[in-house]
Structure 1
Amino acid sequence: MSVLIVIPARFASVRFPGKALAPLRGATGQAKSLIRRSWDAAQAVSGVDRVVIATDDDRIRAEANGFGAEVVMTSSDCRNGTERCAEALDALGGGFDIVVNLQGDAPLTPPWFVEALIDALTDHPVAEMATPVLRCDGRALNGFLEDRRAGRVGGTTAVFGAEGKALYFSKEVIPYTADDEWDDQIATPVFHHVGVYAYRPAALAAYARWTPGPLEKLEGLEQLRFLERDHPVQCVEVDARGRQFWELNNPEDVTRIEDILSDLGMA
């Protein structure tokens, strides 16, 4: 199975303009841009044939070229990362069995999260797309609840059926839990949706032809376009193996991510 990783990146993020170029300091105090750390995360994934950064911004292209990344320029009309991945695949001429969308705001994504998606599509030939979900411990869920109390949109949560078929994704914390404070190490009933997707090329091409539905527009979550079109999304539960995971959604997340980088000893 030939695998392409696309890292979609744009400059005009609504919640954090220019975040792809935001510096993140690691354990040694060295600062690397968000897009550089996302590229490094992609390079750690095994079984991948090619990695590209897809952007419409010359500033991001210049930064990526500076650390040796391959860049595909895409249209500013792309409404989300999945559309940008579809356009990048088309620009490359296809030729891949699996396309992974490793979003440019998730530099803490462990390689085994992505490898689990590749395995899921390899082992289930009828599956069109897959995405990882991570059971929140109390520390992670407290962070979600803190964000919502402060009026911030933090991570995305997912609910799914017994066979892993997604029922819904939301920027609210779902399912509802009566407790508003959890012990740090306890396993909770809430699953963090990790912003990584693996697609069959045909599913990716179909997605780009569909118009966004009302739920996608309300939530601002691209994967809901599949659910609204009755195309199943396979959730793959992954194990953090003791690592904390967080995405860069708001300026306030910089400190959180830098603390995790330091805890992990990542330069």
Structure 2
Amino acid sequence: MSVVIIIPARHASTRYPGKPLVDLRGASGQPRSLIRRSWEAAMAVAGADRVIVATDDIRIRDHAEAFGAEVAMTSESCRNGTERCAEAVGNLGLSPEIVVNLQGDAPLTPAWFVEDLVAGLRADPAAEVATPVLRCSGRMRADLIADRRAGRVGGTTAVFGHDRQALYFSKEVIPFAAGDVADDAPSPVFHHVGVYAYRPDALAAYPGWDEGRLERLEGLEQLRFLERGRRILCVEVDARGRQFWELNNPEDVPRLEAMMREMGLD
């Protein structure tokens, strides 16, 4: 098996309980759950051998199986999606070349984001983990800043070096840049897209490490890799005119639905 995509999903979210089962309405107005839309996004990825929803909740399991998804049950003790992916891989006895974690709150993730991510990890033998980053337009940067000013946890931003190795990830908007940027102009800020590609050894090691200080402060699971000196490759992806946002808070539902209607996505 070459590439397996795992979608970790839990019902007991602190910020948004029951989030995977929340309905989103696209251009047609027909409701489909967040987890179903995320699964459909994963199923559209070329080169994926298997797509699995990993959850600890029977409501999510029953719902996902009803629309045809393969489901792996995992324990309630998983502290984040990376740990849930590692447990699912171990429980199922999988031995893929690459494991992709497509988080269940990113239904607008285009297939080529994941395809480019896998290609990027394959092209860099020294990288143990890879994740996509998307250069923010002025409009997206302004939306991120507005969320922080309103006290909401919005998207995550990433900074990386000339070799594309991650330096840091934050829920603050970094790097700081004075002044405004036109809505359709590129900004110096990169939005971290919530997808990861792991080499199996790095994924298997992760649950055995204590939670890192920065990971705990930011609430960002990928920082555990950086705090352990592991390399995360940032793969820049091209939105190709598509809008991208994740569902982090209840306020994001109308935002995502408006984006879907604007792009003509069902």
TM-score (ref. length: structure 2) = 0.98
Q: CA deviation at 1:47?
A: 0.4
Q: CA deviation at 1:182?
A: 3.1
Give the percent of matched residue pairs that are identical in Structure 1 and Structure 2.
68
1:1-267 to 2 correspondence within 5 Å? 2-179=2-179, 181-267=180-266
CA distance in 1, matches of 2:125, 2:170: 28
Match for 1:221: what amino acid? Answer: L
Name the SS of the counterpart of 1:6 in structure 2.
Answer: strand
CA distance in 1, matches of 2:49, 2:65: 19
Name the SS of the counterpart of 1:24 in structure 2.
Answer: strand
Match for 1:110: what amino acid? Answer: P
How many residues matched?
A: 266
CA distance in 1, matches of 2:191, 2:218: 15
Q: Kindly provide the CA deviation profile for residues 198-219 of structure 1, in whole angstroms up to 9, marking residues without a partner as x.
A: 0000000011111111000000
Gapped regions of structure 2 (runs ≥ 5):
none
CA distance in 1, matches of 2:81, 2:260: 25
Match for 1:50: what amino acid? Answer: R
Q: CA deviation at 1:123?
A: 1.8
Name the SS of the counterpart of 1:32 in structure 2.
Answer: strand
Q: CA deviation at 1:94?
A: 1.9
Gapped regions of structure 1 (runs ≥ 5):
none
Q: Kindly provide the CA deviation profile for residues 115-146 of structure 1, in whole angstroms up to 9, marking residues without a partner as x.
A: 01110122222321100000000110111011
Q: Which runs of 4+ in 1 moved over 3 A?
A: none
CA distance in 2, matches of 1:243, 1:142: 17
Name the SS of the counterpart of 1:148 in structure 2.
Answer: helix
CA distance in 1, matches of 2:246, 2:105: 6
Q: Kindly provide the CA deviation profile for residues 28-81 of structure 1, in whole angstroms up to 9, marking residues without a partner as x.
A: 000000000000000110000000000000110111011000000000000000
Q: Kindly provide the CA deviation profile for residues 4-47 of structure 1, in whole angstroms up to 9, marking residues without a partner as x.
A: 00000000111111110000001000000000000000011000
CA distance in 1, matches of 2:164, 2:124: 13
Aligned Cα RMSD in Å? 0.9
Match for 2:223: what amino acid? Answer: L
Match for 1:210: what amino acid? Answer: W
CA distance in 1, matches of 2:168, 2:95: 31
